[in-house]
Amino acid sequence: MPEVQKRGAFIVVEGLDRSGKSTQSTQLLEKLRSAGIDAKLLNFPDRTTTIGKMIDSYLRSESELDDRAIHLLFSANRWEAASSIESSLRAGTLILCDRYAFSGLAFSAAKGLPYTWCRAPDVGLPAPDLTLLLDVSPEQQAKRGGFGAERYEKAEMQERVRAVFERVGDEMGAGGRWVVVDADAEQDAVAYELWRHVEPLAQGTEEPIRRLWDEEEERRRVSELYL
Ligand code: Z5A
Ligand code: MG
């Protein structure tokens, strides 16, 4: 029997603002690398590209854009990285990603754009093997450094974003690919919990790379949930 080729796992860290995504992703990267795993950390929006610079200017309220236009820019910012994500995974590199399409969906739907419209531009992107949603309470969020400086950092907006993340989680939940982690806990406790989920994927996976919101896959998951 020919040996099945393993590829790197694709792991996304998602959540509300100030939930500790960047802190935890950076620590996870260090932990993986010190365990000898070939791993790379990406973050979205990637503010370094031409598209990313437009997004950055919008987030800082230095420019105005139609809600749909900015949504499409966030998605384009992921698409410009998609082929490099895929080739890294195939080369055996574990990709950690600080925010991904779920933030795109959550923030734009929270503004009132239709949910299915918001999902459409990201259909076909590489799908994560695991998404870790850091769940922080509004009280903790307000206590953490820097909250309030950018466009969406307001309590009412964050509440609506939370509701959309819950909906996405319900739809993604089956099969353990979407895991909610209590991000109000101490940093070390959060890190311990994240590692519990990441470790089994650290050496790679034999699963083929899936696509985001693959309709057939989704039907299968929904039937697993309700039948
Ligand atoms: N957005 C969108 O609309 N559409 C999209 O498609 C995408 C994004 C991808 C900018 O994102 C905005 O873009 C964001 C969503 C929108 N809007 N908002 N609002 P960003 O990722 O660039 O945002 P950021 O500036 O990195 O902030 P953040 O992601 O919200 O923060 P974080 O990464 O989750 O948290 P942190 O930087 O790791 O920690 C924040 C502080 O809390 C820091 O002082 C830590 O030391 C502290 N911290 C962390 N963990 C703990 C614990 N456990 N206890 C106590 N204190 C802690
Ligand atoms: Mg961050």
d(CA 77, CA 55): 9
Residue whose Cα lies nearest atom 23 of ligand 1: it is 17
Range list of β-strands (E), 79-129? 94-98
Asked whether residue 37 carries a pLDDT value surpassing 80, the answer given is: yes
DSSP code at position 64: -
pLDDT surpassing 70 at residue 226: no
Residue 143 has pLDDT above 60, yes or no: yes
- Report percent pLDDT > 70 for the chain: 91
Of 26, 13, 7, the residue nearest 94 (C-alpha) = 7
Give me ligand 2 centre to Cα 99, in Å: 8
The pLDDT, as a whole number, for residue 51 is: 98
Ligand 1 pocket test: which of 13, 14, 16, 22 has the largest number of ligand atoms within 8 Å of its C-beta?
22
Ligand closest to Cα of 187 equals 1
Q: CB of 195 within 8 A of CB of 28? A: yes
Task: Assign a CATH topology to domain 18-225.
Answer: Rossmann fold (3.40.50)
Reported pTM: 0.94
| pLDDT at residue 227 in the model | 57
Going by their DSSP bridges, the two strands 10-15 and 39-43 should be labelled as unpaired
Mean pLDDT to the nearest integer, 128-133: 96
pLDDT at residue 173, rounded to an integer: 66
pLDDT in tens, 107-117: 999 999 999 99
List ligand 1's pocket residues with C-beta within 6 A.
Answer: 15, 17-23, 44-45, 59, 74, 99, 103-104, 107, 144-145, 150, 152-153, 186-187, 190
Q: What is the mean pLDDT of the chain?
A: 93
